[in-house]
């Protein structure tokens, strides 16, 4: 058994999106969401406006194991979404729990 499997990986936090970049982020987000949800091991994925901070988007991801999470990170980093948002400030917490 792979020692990295059987551990659910969750990412929670936010991404800071300046008002002048919000239209671009919103335009790319639906495709990014669709591609992420179609990835093997993706349990849940959401990026939603913060109710308290108009310049923040709240992020929540859950993957079945570390391999699936790492594969998502690699795909996202090389995607159109990744290129367009690479410079934006993010505050994330990553936790692991037995699945």
Q: What is the per-residue pLDDT across 20-66, written as a single tens digit (0 to 9) for each?
A: 999 999 999 999 999 999 999 999 999 999 999 999 999 999 999 99
Cα–Cα distance for residue pair 66/3, rounded to 1 Å: 9
Q: What share of the chain is helix, strand, coil (3-state, %, to 5)?
A: 35, 35, 25
Q: In whole angstroms, what is the distance from residue 33 CA to residue 38 CA?
A: 9
The answer to whether the Cα torsion of 11, 25, 39, 71 is positive or negative is negative
Task: For the full predicted model, state whether its pTM sits above 0.85.
Answer: yes
Q: In the prediction, which pLDDT does 97 show?
A: 86
Q: Is 6 helix (H, G, I), strand (E, B) or coil?
A: coil
Query: Residue ranges of the domains in the chain?
Result: 7-85
For domain 7-85, which CATH number applies: 3.30.70.100, 3.40.710.10, 3.40.720.10, 3.30.530.20?
Answer: 3.30.70.100
């Amino acid at each position: 058994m792979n020692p990295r499997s059987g551990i659910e990986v969750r990412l929670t936090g936010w991404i800071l999106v300046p008002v002048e970049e919000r239209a671009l982020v919103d335009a790319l987000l639906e495709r990014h969401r669709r591609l992420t949800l179609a990835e093997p091991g993706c349990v849940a994925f959401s990026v939603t406006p913060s109710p308290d901070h108009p310049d923040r988007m709240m992020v929540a991801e859950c993957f079945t194991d570390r391999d699936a999470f790492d594969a998502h990170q690699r795909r996202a980093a090389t995607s159109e979404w990744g290129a367009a948002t690479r410079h934006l400030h993010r505050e994330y917490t990553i936790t692991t729990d037995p699945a």
